[in-house]
Amino acid sequence: MDYRLRIDGQDHAVSVPEDMPLLWVLRDVLGLTGTKFGCGAGLCGACTVHLDGAAARSCLTPVSMATGKEIVTIAGLSSTRVGRAVQGAWLAQDVVQCGYCQPGQMLSAAALLTDNSDPSDDEIDAGMSGNICRCGTYQRIRAAIRHAADELSA
Amino acid sequence: MTGKAVQMGRREILKTGALAGAALAIGIALPARAAGADKGGQAFLPHAVLAIMPDGTVTLYLPKTEMGQGVHTAIAMLIAEELEVAPSAFSIDIPPGDSVRFGDISQSTGGSTSMRELWAPLRQAAADTRMALVMAAARKWGVKATDCRARDGVIHRLDETSRLTYGEVCLDAAAWPLPAGTALKSPDDYRVLGKDQVRLDGEAKVKGTAQFGIDVRLPGMLTAALQQSPVFGGALRKVEEGAALAVAGVRQVVALDDAVAVLADNYWSAQQGLAALEPGWDEGPHAQLDQSAIVEPIVTAVSGPGTEAFNQGDVAEAMKASRQTVEAVYQQAFQAHAAMEPGNCVAHFTGNACEIWTGTQIPSAVRKQVASATGLPVEAVTVHNFLLGGGFGRRLEADMVLRTVQIARRASVPVKLVWSREEDVRHDLYRPYYADRLVAGLGEDRKPVAWRHHIAGSSIMARLYPRYYKGVDGDAVEGAKTIPYTVPSRRLEWTRQESAVPTSWWRGVGGLRSAFAVESFIDELAVAAKSDPVAYRRDLLRDPRAVAVLDLAAERAGWGRRLPEGQGQGVALIHLWDTYMAQVVEVEARENEQPRVLRVVVAVDCGQPVNPAGIRAQVEGGVVFGLSATLFGEITVAGGQVQQSNFHDYRVLRMNEAPLVETHIVDSREAPGGMGEPPTAAVGPALANAVFAATGRRVRTLPLARNLWV
Ligand code: FES
Ligand code: FES
């Protein structure tokens, strides 16, 4: 099937099966490798992208459901004010370790902050518990989300 | 393949011996390069880790693998301090595997050895390089080197009449012999070491441009999905290729002795093709193997005699004379590594050469193993290394690379093999299942006078270095042979007990296992002595550095303060990998509920801190990693197959379960100790001790969450 996809502000045309997950369209068909594969089962959040501003697990999102939507990956996160605040906070809090989970973490955090500009600790935990970090950067992710929230409300 | 021993030369085992806590790298030096030998005389290459170009570029060739632990940043700091450049000034190059290039410095990364190994030689190499540049400038000016000084990549005359950049003098420096033995800075003059440095790889990782092995794409490359024999030791009996080849995008099916792979234009098509296959397996000798048949012999072994690993005094006599004996058996489960980046490798085999692209902790050993597997000379094998999305010891093995090479040899194009998470969990090389039995005799003063410890489990050392295995696994007994506490008579025994489950290094290595057993047991002795766990430990310590971290953690945690009902504090102390660490865990444990870890206070003395910010990151991350294993981590076997497959049944800590971690670093001028393993090793026993304090239940068999309320 032929699909048009709008990814990080750019239009792409692909010809792939309709049930092919967006993750593999991004990584293997288009060569956009910023979005990561972690579990393929919606369990880890490494593959998180935005579809029309909402966080989605691209490993479980068939390409047919992503067409016609505004897709944002880590490469395009800095195009929004919230995204820039999140990336700035990630650097300020020196969050990353191996970094592999972090694109997904930042996309989830940006979606959380878009919905709720001043999340409580419990709301942060609830919004982020779908994203695993094996390196254990959770404490800094929490701090970075608060940092970004402060930045956004300033 | 996983059981195959790797033959290694004497030098190799000495280098890798560091992994087992063997003597470290005293006097290791980087080989000096013939001046200006490379790049057509267009650069100053003082030694293998640095290149200085006339345009001022300073390239740092990383001799270690960055897998999240911050070694890139720490290495840059070591060199920056003595070279007199900013840590962020380097352009970074990840060199291919090469066992000659770095001389005595091992390209292997593991066992918390990097800073211990590199601390002396890299600073010396950087100081000598700086001296060469200063001397070149002094020659130009016709002054003495002592009339010049270097700062931020610029050489100044002390009278400030002239200045030259490193780039301007580098070719002249290259034409002269490299100075040796340049005096190193006094710690009082450090401008970089011991100061917080944000990660140098942070920006690329935040932008999402950092490239991991799994991101490699080559022209004409096919991507492969893999299914290996579900039963350990099984073989592929038959496979009908047709069903896979009918899937759009599938190009080839590769049948191997014990696995089948489907090659396609993309990973999704490869997985669809694999799912369409119905391979038949010969299940082999382990088809009936269950967990109990693996565990029973290990647990039984520790109640009998083992091979002596250490003996001091007459333990039997001392035990008889003691007033009270305490005995406990601890069991620790098989663990998978489950790094966030699943296993992957790209290989291109052309018949007379083989090129590999992968993230590995052992690039030069991988090169040798690919050479021996293919029959190619080592020079015909190239191993390009990448950032790792977590290592934790998994990439200290070459099995994933060798598997990819098997497939690539049957294809005419480069092949990228990607492990599904399910394959990654079910075909890991696991942390061994271990049992520890400890018996202590307490004297009149309730202090231990006799101590007997017997460890049983799989030996990783015996598999990897069979020629050097002399009946005791030096890694497995680390942290049990030497303990922080004074006990007059002590005996340690070891029994090697293998099963069909392949085993390998896992963050914390043998010391972690010892730490759980010894630190749980000393807590049990404190209880038997009706003594406070911190005070009881302190009474048995002689080393002031150990006392200092214990007291610091206790003080910062508010040890002994009143806690709400259902909460408890637990402590653990380790001296491993040349680092002293104490942790106090605070936990809430309500009946029939999963315990909640509230707070972890960590005091660490790892010698001269290289990057305090990096140390804190390792503590925070290592604590989470250790909590995952202690609370949940468990690989079990039924019918010869691993029962877990993904993050739903191989649980790891999530953000809502992650405690607040506070790190307190002792200022020290001692040589640096390791920081990758200690936080993971110390948190397990501190948690179990806290759960005991909260509930009165002593969990001796891990994982804790499953065994607490049964
Ligand atoms: S890869 Fe999509 S949730 Fe894990
Ligand atoms: S930073 Fe390594 S998995 Fe999150």
Return the closest-CA partner of residue B52 out of B91, B78, B88: B91
pLDDT band at B42 (very low <50, low <70, confident <90, very high): confident
Question: How many angstroms is it from B693 CA to the middle of ligand 1?
Answer: 38
d(CA A18, CA A22): 10
First to last CA, chain A: 47
Identify the burial level of B257 via C-beta atoms within 10 angstroms of its C-beta, where 0-12 means exposed, 13-18 middle and 19 or more buried.
exposed
> HSE (CB half, 13 Å, CA atoms) of B577?
31
The arithmetic mean of pLDDT across residues B121-133, rounded, is: 96
CATH-assigned architecture of domain B291-334+430-707: 2-Layer Sandwich (3.30)
Q: How many CB atoms lie within 10 A of CB B183?
A: 8
**Coil, strand or helix: which one is B152?**
coil
**Mean pLDDT for the stretch of residues B128-142:** 97
DSSP H or E stretch at residue B324 = strand B324-332
Query: Band of the pLDDT at B30, cuts 50, 70, 90?
Result: low
pLDDT band at B33 (very low <50, low <70, confident <90, very high): low
Check pLDDT > 50 for residue B624. Answer: yes
Minimal CA separation from B371 to chain A, in Å: 29
User: Between A102-115 and A81-92, two packed helices, what is the crossing angle to 10 degrees?
Assistant: 130
A98 at the B interface (CB within 8 A)? yes
| Model pLDDT for residues B280-334, shown as the tens digit of each residue | 999 999 999 999 999 999 999 999 999 999 999 999 999 999 999 999 999 999 9
Check whether B23 has a pLDDT greater than 50: no
> Cα dist. B3→B110, B260, B332, B430 in Å?
20, 19, 22, 12
Q: CA B83, CA B390: separation in Å to the nearest integer?
A: 30
Q: Which residues line ligand 1 (CB under 6 A)?
A: A 37-40, 42-47, 57, 59
Rounded CA-CA distance B677/B680 in Å is 6
Q: Considering only CA atoms, give the Rg of chain A.
A: 15
Q: Give me the residue spans of the domains in chain B.
A: 10-204, 213-284+343-418, 291-334+430-707
Ligand 1 centroid distance, CA of B204 (Å): 21
Which residues is B448 bridged to in the sheet? Answer: B442
CB B369 within 8 A of CB B401: yes
Which run of H or E residues covers position B689? helix B678-695
Mean per-residue pLDDT of chain B: 93
Eight-class DSSP state of A119: -
**H/E run at residue B223:** strand B222-228
pLDDT value for B3: 33
Probe target for ligand 1 pocket from A43, A49, A131, with the most ligand atoms within 8 Å of CB: A43
Contacts of B38 (CB under 8 A, 6+ apart): B45, B51
CA B130 from centroid of its chain's CA atoms: 32
Ligand nearest to the CA of B652: 2
DSSP A117: S
Euclidean distance between CA atoms B629 and B87, whole angstroms = 35
Task: Tell me which amino acid residue B411 is.
Answer: A
Q: What is the pLDDT of residue B368?
A: 96
Q: Which residues contact A152 (CB under 8 A, 6 or more apart)?
A: A81, A82, A85, A113, A117
Task: Establish if B275 touches chain A: CB-CB under 8 angstroms.
Answer: no
Pick A99's closest partner by Cβ from B210, B392, B655. B210
User: Could you read off the pLDDT of A2-21 as tens digits, one per residue?
Assistant: 999 999 999 999 999 999 99
Percentage of chain B with pLDDT > 70?
94
Cβ burial B14-35 (10 Å sphere, 16+ → b, else e): bbbbbbbbbebbeebbbebbeb
List A14's β-bridge partners, or say none: A3
The neighbouring-strand residues paired with B489 are B450
| Residues of chain A contacting B201 with CB distance shorter than 8 Å | 96, 99
Determine whether the interchain pair B617/A125 forms a contact, defined as Cβ–Cβ distance below 8 Å: no
**The residue count for chain A:** 154
Residue B232 burial (10 A CB sphere; 0-12, 13-18, 19+): buried
Nearest to B372 by CA among B358, B386, B354, B387: B354
What's the pLDDT tens digit per position in B382-441?
A: 999 999 999 999 999 999 999 999 999 999 999 999 999 999 999 999 999 999 999 999
Partner A, chain B 380-409, Cβ-Cβ below 8 Å: 387-392
In B577-691, the DSSP E strands lie at 579-588, 596-605, 637-638, 641-642, 660-665
- Partner residue facing A98 (CB), from B203, B207, B389: B389
Rounding to the nearest 10 degrees, give the CA dihedral for residues B4, B342, B71, B430: -40
Report d(CA B124, CA B120) in Å as an integer: 6
């759009």: which residue's tokens? B248
Size of interface A-B (CB pairs under 8 A): 174
Predicted local distance difference test score (pLDDT) of residue B34: 46
What kind and span of H or E run contains B164?
Answer: strand B163-165
C-alpha span between B585 and B682 (Å, rounded): 10
Q: What's residue B27's pLDDT?
A: 42
With 60 as the cut, is the pLDDT of residue B16 above it?
A: no
Q: How much is the average pLDDT of A127-152?
A: 98
Residue B241 has pLDDT above 50, yes or no: yes
* Residue with the two structure tokens 């070459």: B398
| Distance, CA of A97 to CA of B202 (rounded, Å) | 8
Strands (E) located in B551-668: 567-576, 579-588, 596-605, 637-638, 641-642, 660-665
| CA nearest neighbour of B683 among B502, B520, B448 | B520
- Does residue B462 register a pLDDT over 50? yes
Whether residue B9 is predicted with pLDDT greater than 50 in this model: the reply is: no
**Ligand nearest to C-alpha B389:** 2
Distance from CA of B517 to the nearest CA of A (A): 24
Domains of chain A (ranges; CATH) run 2-76 (3.10.20.30), 77-153 (1.10.150.120)
**Residues 6 or more apart whose Cβ sits within 8 Å of residue A38:** A44, A45, A46, A47, A59, A100, A101, A104, A132, B340, B341, B342, B421
Provide the whole-model pTM.
Answer: 0.95
Whether the CB of B338 is below 8 Å from some CB of chain A: the reply is yes
Both tokens of A21, joined, read: 């997950």
Calpha distance B161→B61 (Å, rounded): 34
- Within chain A, what is the greatest distance between any pair of CA atoms? 47
3-state secondary structure of B706: helix
> How far apart are the C-alpha atoms of B578 and B576, rounded to whole Å?
5
- Mean pLDDT (whole number) for B338-361: 98
pLDDT over 80 (residue B10) = no
Which CATH number fits the domain B213-284+343-418, given the four candidates 3.30.365.10, 3.40.50.40, 3.40.50.2000, 3.40.50.1820?
3.30.365.10
Query: Residue whose CA is closest, atom 3 of ligand 1?
Result: A42
- Categorize the per-residue pLDDT at B29 as very low, low, confident or very high, splitting at 50, 70 and 90: low
Q: List the beta bridge partners of residue B91.
A: B59
For residue B32, the model assigns a pLDDT of: 60
Which burial class, exposed, middle or buried, applies to B220 when counting CB atoms under 10 A from its CB (0-12, 13-18, 19+)?
A: exposed
Q: Can you give the pLDDT at residue B2?
A: 32
Q: CA-to-CA distance for B546 and B271, rounded, in angstroms?
A: 53
Pairing relationship of beta strands A10-15 and A2-7 according to DSSP bridges: antiparallel
pLDDT category, B24, cuts 50, 70, 90? Answer: very low
Is the pLDDT score of B5 beyond 60?
no
Rounded Cα distance between B642 and B233, Å, is 12
> Residues of B with CB below 8 A from A125's CB?
655-656
Distance CA B671, CA B271 (A): 50
CB of A135 sitting under 6 A from ligand 2: yes
Element containing residue B268 per DSSP (H, E): helix B267-276
If you count them, how many residues does chain B have? 710
Of B208, B646, B655, the CB nearest to A39: B646
Q: What is the signed CA dihedral for B261, B262, B268, B274, rounded to 10 degrees?
A: -80
For A80-121, write each residue's pLDDT tens digit: 999 999 999 999 999 999 999 999 999 999 999 999 999 999
Q: Rounded CA gap, B310 and B616, in Å?
A: 35
How many angstroms separate the CA atoms of A103 and B450, rounded? 54
Q: How far is the CA of B341 from the centre of ligand 2 (A)?
A: 9
Per-residue pLDDT for A154 more than 90?
A: no
For chain B, what percent of residues have pLDDT higher than 90? 91
* CB-based contact, A75 to chain B, within 8 Å: yes
Query: Could you tell me if B121 and B25 are in contact, meaning their C-beta atoms sit under 8 angstroms apart?
Result: yes
Q: What is the pLDDT of residues B496-514, one digit of tens each?
A: 999 999 999 999 999 999 9
Q: How confident is the model at residue B22 (pLDDT cuts 50, 70, 90)?
A: very low
Q: How confident is the model at residue B31 (pLDDT cuts 50, 70, 90)?
A: low
DSSP symbols for B445-473: TSSEEEEEEEEEE--HHHHH-GGG--SS-
Q: Is the CB of A101 under 6 A from ligand 2?
A: yes
Tokens linked to B593: 């509920």
- Specify whether domain B10-204 bears CATH 3.30.365.10: yes
Question: How far is Cα B658 from Cα B663, in angstroms, rounded to an integer?
Answer: 15
| A150 contact partners, CB below 8 Å, separation of at least 6 | none
Contact B630, B705 (CB under 8 A): no
